[in-house]
Structure 1
Amino acid sequence: MSSTVMRKAYALFRMNFLIIVLLVVTAVAMFAYRHFLDDIMEINLGEYPYVVASADSVDGGTSAITMTRTDSSAIIEYELREGYAYPYVGIKIYLGDGKTMGRDLSKFDSVFVWLKPRNEGSVRLYMRGYDSALYRKNDETSLKFNEIEFTPTKEPYPAVFVPQEFRVAGWWVSQNEINVHKARVDLSNIPLIEIQTGTNAPLGYGGWEVKGLRFKGKKISQVDLVTTLVALWFVTFLIILIIRFFDYSRERAINRKKQEELKKNLRALEIEKSEYEKSSKEDPLTGCLNRAGFGGVLLREQEKLNRTGGPVSFMIFDIDHFKEVNDTYGHLVGDEVLVNLAKLVQGMIRNTDSLVRWGGEEFVILSDDTSIQNAAFLAEKLRKAIESATLITQQQVTCSFGVTEMIPGEDPKSFIARADKALYSSKENGRNRVTVATFKRTH
């Protein structure tokens, strides 16, 4: 194996190795994120010390509540009584100092509540948030009421929520005249959690067994993880680009030594190509002359015209809507049109006439000893024959013609442009027609 091949194989191995390592790191990171990076905060009410019972008696109500502890839960017994507009009882769980310093619960994406009811009725869960712009010293009601209300059941157990389900209590927004921007859920500083009876809790005796709450999230956010992985991929590809740059520089230094030899070979190939193009006079698809072959015929006819003055006609025609044939039926059908058209025309012109594939769907006929009137007659004859023929079974094919006559001493560009203009006029006037352009002298 050559040294060049070995170097390329080694460079490819390095790049593929880096990509494989990066894929493994990405897979491991995603697996670890899913299974091993959980961030959990638990509050066990059987052990947590900062829990107190509360009732509407602080607001002038008459409801009563008692709380007892077991090793694993808090047992709540209560009686909801009339006497307050919205009778309620509940428990308060203090985090931090219970006022301005709390816990950041916004990083958690799930909230689990272990609460078994003894009777019917909904329950409110309040995450009381501190906002320096809203907090009034020693006024617990100024802590924002981020709430969710649910109806607990004995099974399934526990109740599970996501932060997006919480909303700010409307009565608190109205009571404190909070603007819309401040009335958004914010769990970034929660000094107090409350669990209360809900709006449809019936009056009378009731009770709960509350084991506790669990907040579950990730030690790193999904956005941070994805950002880190994207940065890692970026750095890796940057390293690959640097490696490729040095490999390229090394290859360039090696290739520079062979530059002269390659230039010589290239010049030889260009000469060979030029000679091949000069010798190739025939269109491989239709068998007509190509432009290279036309050049020799044109030169011969110009010399004859300048010498004898005999008429020489130049006819250019192309297939109408040929692009639609290709687009509709495919290029193989388009090639079939070109081949059959060339056969048809070749069979209707003299052996001394030259049929040239001018390019794409355009053809040229160069007729010596032919006046412009006879050329126009021939063009019309060809047009009708093409229109009547079945070049392909899929649809009828027609052609548009432009006819002119060569003038002694005239630049070929001039009569070709004249014929092309006549062809354009045929197309402008509806296609499938012959237009004749005569030479006009300018003084």
Structure 2
Amino acid sequence: MLILSIGVLVWHHFRGDTKMITISPEKYQYYAADDKKVGGISEAVLVEKNGKPSMRCTMKKGKYAWPYCEAAIHFSDSIFEGIDLSSYSKLILDIDYKSADPNGRLRVYLRNSNPIYTKRNDGASLKFNGVEYEPGFNAGPKEIALSDFQVMTWWIADYKVPVEHAAPEFTNISIIEIATSSSVKSGDFEMTINSIELRGSWIKENTLLKIILYAWLVIIIAYILYEQKRLNKNLKVSAYRESRLRKLNDSLKEKNVEFAELAHRDSLTGARNRNAVRDWLDQMSQQVRWGKQTFSVIYIDIDYFKKINDKLGHQIGDDILREFVLVVTSAIKSTDFLVRWGGEEFVVFCPNHNAQQATEKAEHIRKIVEHHLWCHNESLTCSLGVTEMKDERITEVIARADDALYKAKNAGRNKVITSVSVGNVSTSSRYM
């Protein structure tokens, strides 16, 4: 926006005043006028000289006290219809003037029409926006600022124009008059009009500055509203996360208080530790050897947990471990045992589960973990190895489950691999 604003201002400085209108005989009607209609005896005639309109005047003093000759350009047949020159700032005249008057000056009138003061069939009622200047001969174009024009005081007095309409006005110019000066000597005069142009800005500087200011205000307000909306959204997300973490911490605190006196609980997550299931595992293995029940093991490892710790810090990592225990606990039965085996590794011991049932439970855990909205607002997955205990020691069945977990990680993670023991041979299958 800053670059655009600077570009617009630079353009306005160098190219903003290129708006131009040419008052040529091809477009508008040129006439010669003299003082005969007010009792004078001067004579003016309009001729063509080198393709340009030229007024020749014989100035004579008679009964009329202020003799004159003039060239008039009419923009329409009606004095009420003109052109709006209010957006132009300069009148550029290229006139060659030969005069018996040593001053050699001309009067220029831009006659404005307004129903408030203009009367039908009264050409003198057109407002006299006038200026007097010295054109010279072969002197080239002369620039006259429209701000230098003044309204003739005699006209204001004669037509009793109210003060609010006494200032120069260029909104409906119907006639341009170029006349000899107010006090000239008798003699011959010649005025050749080479060109008449008006130059102005496409947009006024004050208007342009206001537009730029309003544009800045709109952009600033829009930016503030956008930032406010974005901050409100972030605050809502933060508040939601804080609420979830608070509830999670409250829940974990309750769990920790509940298990504070139990030496068989993991102090960080509240899950059982190895000591809690040592004797129980010996009993389960004995039951399996006697053929009284089935028993399966699900070995779980959180995927890329080290990266989470490195990226978010160990505090967030600890929060995730606590939440992971709660999520997995919600996915298993009360008769199952969830044990933190070490670091981000967990083992679920499933009494009365064969390999197929344990595999289905593992897949259920995997999906819940994958689709859960975690406290760090990022996705989390786990890999799982499943095996059913046969005629073997508990350390062997856990080792087979660990081997299946290793294969799940090598297969791309976020998968369930089941190890099936057939005789002394262990085979693996992926859950689809």
Map 1:374-385 onto structure 2 (within 5 A): none
C-alpha displacement of 1:111: 0.9
Q: Residues 245 and 183 of structure 1: is their aligned pair in 2 closer, same or farther, counting only changes over 3 Å? A: closer
| Corresponding residue number in structure 2 for 1:116 | 96
Of the three residues 104, 115, 125, the one matched with 2:84 is 104
Determine if contact 1:123/1:197 at 8 Å carries over to the other structure: yes
Say which SS state the counterpart of residue 9 (structure 2) adopts.
helix
Cα deviation code 1:306-328 (max 9, x no counterpart): xxxxxxxxxxxxxxxxxxxxxxx
Of the three residues 128, 131, 140, the one matched with 2:114 is 131
Of the three residues 231, 236, 241, the one matched with 1:248 is 231
Supply the distance in 1 between the matched residues of 2:96 and 2:12 (Cα, whole angstroms). Answer: 32
Of the three residues 63, 69, 90, the one matched with 1:89 is 69
Of the three residues 136, 143, 155, the one matched with 1:153 is 136
Of the three residues 13, 24, 31, the one matched with 1:34 is 13
Q: Residues 177 and 245 of structure 1: is their aligned pair in 2 closer, same or farther, counting only changes over 3 Å? A: closer
Q: Residues 175 and 252 of structure 1: is their aligned pair in 2 closer, same or farther, counting only changes over 3 Å? A: closer
C-alpha displacement of 1:144: 1.3
| Corresponding residue number in structure 2 for 1:211 | 194
Supply the distance in 2 between the matched residues of 1:214 and 1:164 (Cα, whole angstroms). Answer: 16
| Corresponding residue number in structure 2 for 1:187 | 170
> Would you say 1:56 and 2:35 are equivalent positions?
yes
Say which SS state the counterpart of residue 191 (structure 1) adopts.
strand
C-alpha displacement of 1:24: 1.9
Supply the distance in 2 between the matched residues of 1:71 and 1:34 (Cα, whole angstroms). Answer: 37
Determine if contact 1:118/1:207 at 8 Å carries over to the other structure: yes
| Corresponding residue number in structure 2 for 1:307 | none
| Corresponding residue number in structure 2 for 1:238 | 221
> 5+ residue gaps in structure 2?
247-432
The letter of the residue matching 2:189 is G
C-alpha displacement of 1:166: 1.0
C-alpha displacement of 1:72: 4.6
Determine if contact 1:98/1:192 at 8 Å carries over to the other structure: no
Cα deviation code 1:66-85 (max 9, x no counterpart): 22124652122211110120
Determine if contact 1:90/1:196 at 8 Å carries over to the other structure: yes
C-alpha displacement of 1:91: 0.8
Supply the distance in 1 between the matched residues of 2:224 and 2:154 (Cα, whole angstroms). Answer: 61
Say which SS state the counterpart of residue 45 (structure 2) adopts.
strand
| Corresponding residue number in structure 1 for 2:124 | 141
Say which SS state the counterpart of residue 179 (structure 2) adopts.
strand
Determine if contact 1:116/1:209 at 8 Å carries over to the other structure: yes
Cα deviation code 1:162-185 (max 9, x no counterpart): 222111112222333334333221
The letter of the residue matching 1:114 is D
Determine if contact 1:136/1:142 at 8 Å carries over to the other structure: yes
| Corresponding residue number in structure 2 for 1:224 | 207
Of the three residues 169, 173, 183, the one matched with 2:152 is 169
The letter of the residue matching 1:42 is T
Say which SS state the counterpart of residue 165 (structure 2) adopts.
coil
Determine if contact 1:44/1:211 at 8 Å carries over to the other structure: no
Q: Residues 189 and 27 of structure 1: is their aligned pair in 2 closer, same or farther, counting only changes over 3 Å? A: same
The letter of the residue matching 1:223 is N
Say which SS state the counterpart of residue 44 (structure 1) adopts.
coil
The letter of the residue matching 1:75 is S
Cα deviation code 1:333-390 (max 9, x no counterpart): xxxxxxxxxxxxxxxxxxxxxxxxxxxxxxxxxxxxxxxxxxxxxxxxxxxxxxxxxx
Cα deviation code 1:140-199 (max 9, x no counterpart): 111111111112223653221222211111222233333433322111111111110012
Say which SS state the counterpart of residue 158 (structure 2) adopts.
helix
Larger radius of gyration: 2
Say which SS state the counterpart of residue 131 (structure 1) adopts.
coil
Supply the distance in 2 between the matched residues of 1:71 and 1:33 (Cα, whole angstroms). Answer: 37
Q: Residues 158 and 98 of structure 1: is their aligned pair in 2 closer, same or farther, counting only changes over 3 Å? A: farther
The letter of the residue matching 1:172 is W
TM-score by length of structure 2 reads 0.51
The letter of the residue matching 1:28 is G
> Would you say 1:44 and 2:24 are equivalent positions?
yes
| Corresponding residue number in structure 2 for 1:326 | none
Cα deviation code 1:47-81 (max 9, x no counterpart): 34501100011111111122212465212221111
> Would you say 1:74 and 2:53 are equivalent positions?
yes
Aligned residues: 240
The letter of the residue matching 2:94 is W
Say which SS state the counterpart of residue 135 (structure 1) adopts.
coil
Q: Residues 197 and 239 of structure 1: is their aligned pair in 2 closer, same or farther, counting only changes over 3 Å? A: same
Q: Residues 71 and 235 of structure 1: is their aligned pair in 2 closer, same or farther, counting only changes over 3 Å? A: farther
Supply the distance in 1 between the matched residues of 2:69 and 2:35 (Cα, whole angstroms). Answer: 6
Supply the distance in 1 between the matched residues of 2:210 and 2:51 (Cα, whole angstroms). Answer: 41
Supply the distance in 2 between the matched residues of 1:65 and 1:80 (Cα, whole angstroms). Answer: 8
> 5+ residue gaps in structure 1?
1-21, 262-443
State the superposition RMSD in angstroms.
2.4
Say which SS state the counterpart of residue 90 (structure 1) adopts.
strand
Determine if contact 2:34/2:70 at 8 Å carries over to the other structure: yes
Identity of aligned residues (%): 21
Q: Residues 219 and 198 of structure 1: is their aligned pair in 2 closer, same or farther, counting only changes over 3 Å? A: same
Q: Residues 252 and 179 of structure 1: is their aligned pair in 2 closer, same or farther, counting only changes over 3 Å? A: closer
Determine if contact 1:44/1:72 at 8 Å carries over to the other structure: no
